[in-house]
Amino acid sequence: MLRGYRVQIQPSMRFLSDEQIQEIHLASLDILERTGVVVHHPEVIELLLSEGCSMRSQNTVRIPSFLVEQALESIPCRIALYGRSGGKRLLVEDRKSYWGTGSDTPFIIDSFSGCRRQTTLQDIENAARVVDACENLDFLMCMGVAHELPQAIADKYHFVAMAANSSKPIVYTASSLANMEDIYRMAVMIAGSEEALRERNFIVHYTEPISPLIHPRGSLEKLLFCIDRGIPVIYTSATTTSQNGPATLAGALALSVARMLSGLLIGQLRRRGAPMIVTFHGSSMDPRTAIHTYTSPEHVILQAAARDMAAYYRIPTWGRAGCTDSKVLDQQAAFEAGCEIFMQALSGENLIHDVGYLESGLTASLDSIVMCDEFIGVAKRMIQGFELSEETLALDVIHEVGPEGHFLTHDHTVRHYRKETWIPRLIDRSSYQQWEEKGRTTLFDRINRRVREILESHEVVTLPASLLEELNRLAARETGSGPPI
């Protein structure tokens, strides 16, 4: 080995060849030029036409390829996210993966009663605390809906609940532009100023176009709001094969890419260099139930192919894993969540959400969040790989120990054991006798116990009481008619 040679060996997965990526890219451009996209926003239509687009029919805009290529040149390939207190920086780029929960589930499996019920604000607060305590989760979404509150302003309370109970970056949703304005004010108040928020941003907004090829007015208003203020925005929606997309995976992928490229174009025409995060993925419809499946093989395939497309475009991506179509936390849930976590890790997706979803995104589970945190720990260790160097090959150590020795007490073992070996928190590796002595607990028993421990004892870096009072006062407003932003 050459002296000083050192390399990190990491596993990865690539699904599409360069030639196949080009075919899908060209097909997507053809969709935009020939079929076009529906745009329900006069100002955006005017912007597109002024840059060289043309109208196919009322609200349907054809987009020439050269505009898409220009937009891809201007979009940032890296987005930096911070915790609300500064803290750890997430560099959303390349093949770096970060994990977080999902949003707006109407139901939850109660970790204490085991019953399925509607979510409340307390559930959102609890979910935030659980995410804050999970060392392998990097960001959070609200993971519920506060059904007891007026729905016109509930999402503002969701934001306060997340900010008050976790210091990790927040991906949030908003039901209206007025609420967007108030949530932005809240983020500025937490950061200290607009300049401070721009320098150490801790929020990302999530909004959706509609498949097949529709940009609704509400989604565009939120997109433009974020673009104008430099807030990173996730502009994404999933294609369901045989439903709002072709039955063929190739067609569904090309359609998804076309829809997302048109969204990127709108954002970049509004402001060159605006930070945007996208996905091109989709999934299948189960013909027996007409349900959009969250963990089908088709979803895994489309996610992997979509990641390859995003790598070609050099844009940050939004993925999905740690979820299940199962109604409860059972063996199916563990299998489906685990499979998707490992596939997403190998694909190198950037922000990976929906950790903890049950029932195809309808039900939240704190127990599932904690289970997936353990699985993500395995995935992170797997993706870390290992270092190949003179030190790690340990040839002199092997020679010193010899054919009949052991390495247990060697200095080399002491130096490397902890960073080379992943130690689980919940997965059991004891003997049968030891397991019996500890109460014969299953993985699900240990997960639930961990959830209860977090809710009872985890300490969050709190917001000042006076600031929290101001945030709640702003959340309670029924309109967004505050001072101009």
State the average pLDDT for the chain.
Answer: 95
Query: What are the residue ranges of helices labelled H in 348-410?
Result: 366-384, 390-393, 395-401
Q: Mark whether 319 and 189 lie in a shared domain.
A: yes
Query: Per-residue pLDDT averaged across 124-148, rounded?
Result: 98
CA distance 241 to 291: 11
Among residues 374, 297, 370, the alpha carbon closest in space to that of 339 is found at 297
Chain centroid, CA 264 distance in Å: 18
pLDDT of residue 2: 64
pLDDT of residue 256: 96
Q: Give residue-wise pLDDT tens across range 307-340.
A: 999 999 999 999 999 999 999 999 999 999 999 9
Q: Mark whether 268 and 390 lie in a shared domain.
A: no
Q: Mark whether 391 and 379 lie in a shared domain.
A: no
The model's confidence at residue 14, banded by pLDDT at 50, 70 and 90, is very high
Q: Mark whether 364 and 410 lie in a shared domain.
A: no
Q: Is the peptide bond before 212 cis (omega within 30 degrees of 0)?
A: yes
Query: Per-residue pLDDT averaged across 432-443, rounded?
Result: 97
Residue 431, domain member (yes or no): no
Please say if the pLDDT value at position 482 is more than 70. no
Query: Per-residue pLDDT averaged across 249-260, rounded?
Result: 96
Cα dihedral angle (100, 105, 107, 110), rounded to 10 degrees? 20
Q: Mark whether 241 and 375 lie in a shared domain.
A: yes
Residue 8, domain member (yes or no): no
Is the separation of the CB atoms in 138 and 373 below 8 Å?
A: no
The model's confidence at residue 479, banded by pLDDT at 50, 70 and 90, is low
The model's confidence at residue 481, banded by pLDDT at 50, 70 and 90, is very low
Among residues 109, 134, 189, 123, the alpha carbon closest in space to that of 158 is found at 123
How many CB atoms lie under 10 A from the CB of residue 481? 9
Q: Mark whether 394 and 374 lie in a shared domain.
A: no
Residue 7, domain member (yes or no): no
Please say if the pLDDT value at position 164 is more than 70. yes
Residue 173, domain member (yes or no): yes
pTM of the model: 0.95
Is the separation of the CB atoms in 478 and 153 below 8 Å?
A: yes
Query: Per-residue pLDDT averaged across 431-449, rounded?
Result: 98
Q: Give residue-wise pLDDT tens across range 207-250.
A: 999 999 999 999 999 999 999 999 999 999 889 999 999 999 99
Q: Mark whether 351 and 410 lie in a shared domain.
A: no
Residue 437, domain member (yes or no): no
Query: Per-residue pLDDT averaged across 405-413, rounded?
Result: 97
CA distance 18 to 24: 10
pLDDT of residue 286: 86
Please say if the pLDDT value at position 277 is more than 50. yes
Residue 406 belongs to domain spanning: 386-420
The model's confidence at residue 1, banded by pLDDT at 50, 70 and 90, is low
Residue 444, domain member (yes or no): no
Query: Per-residue pLDDT averaged across 367-390, rounded?
Result: 97
Last-in-domain residue among 420, 445, 465: 420
Q: Mark whether 189 and 312 lie in a shared domain.
A: yes
Amino acid at 123: D
Q: Mark whether 367 and 340 lie in a shared domain.
A: yes
Is the separation of the CB atoms in 145 and 178 below 8 Å?
A: no
Q: Mark whether 266 and 369 lie in a shared domain.
A: yes
Last-in-domain residue among 420, 438, 465: 420
pLDDT of residue 480: 47
Query: Per-residue pLDDT averaged across 448-457, rounded?
Result: 99
Query: Per-residue pLDDT averaged across 127-132, rounded?
Result: 99
| In 46-101, beta strands by DSSP E | 54-57, 60-62, 79-83, 86-92, 98-101
Please say if the pLDDT value at position 484 is more than 60. no
Q: Mark whether 261 and 394 lie in a shared domain.
A: no
Query: Per-residue pLDDT averaged across 151-156, rounded?
Result: 97
The total of structural domains in the chain comes to: 2
pLDDT of residue 317: 96
Among 241-245, 289-293, 464-468, the minimum mean pLDDT is found in 289-293
Residue 363, domain member (yes or no): yes
Residue 149, domain member (yes or no): yes
Query: Per-residue pLDDT averaged across 149-172, rounded?
Result: 98
Residue with tokens 């959102």: 124
Q: For position 126, which CATH number holds?
A: 3.20.20.480
The model's confidence at residue 8, banded by pLDDT at 50, 70 and 90, is very high
Q: Mark whether 398 and 301 lie in a shared domain.
A: no
Query: Per-residue pLDDT averaged across 39-66, rounded?
Result: 98
pLDDT of residue 282: 84
Q: Give residue-wise pLDDT tens across range 379-403.
A: 999 999 999 999 999 999 999 999 9
pLDDT of residue 166: 98
More confident residue, 480 or 445: 445
CA distance 141 to 374: 19
The model's confidence at residue 18, banded by pLDDT at 50, 70 and 90, is very high
Please say if the pLDDT value at position 485 is more than 70. no
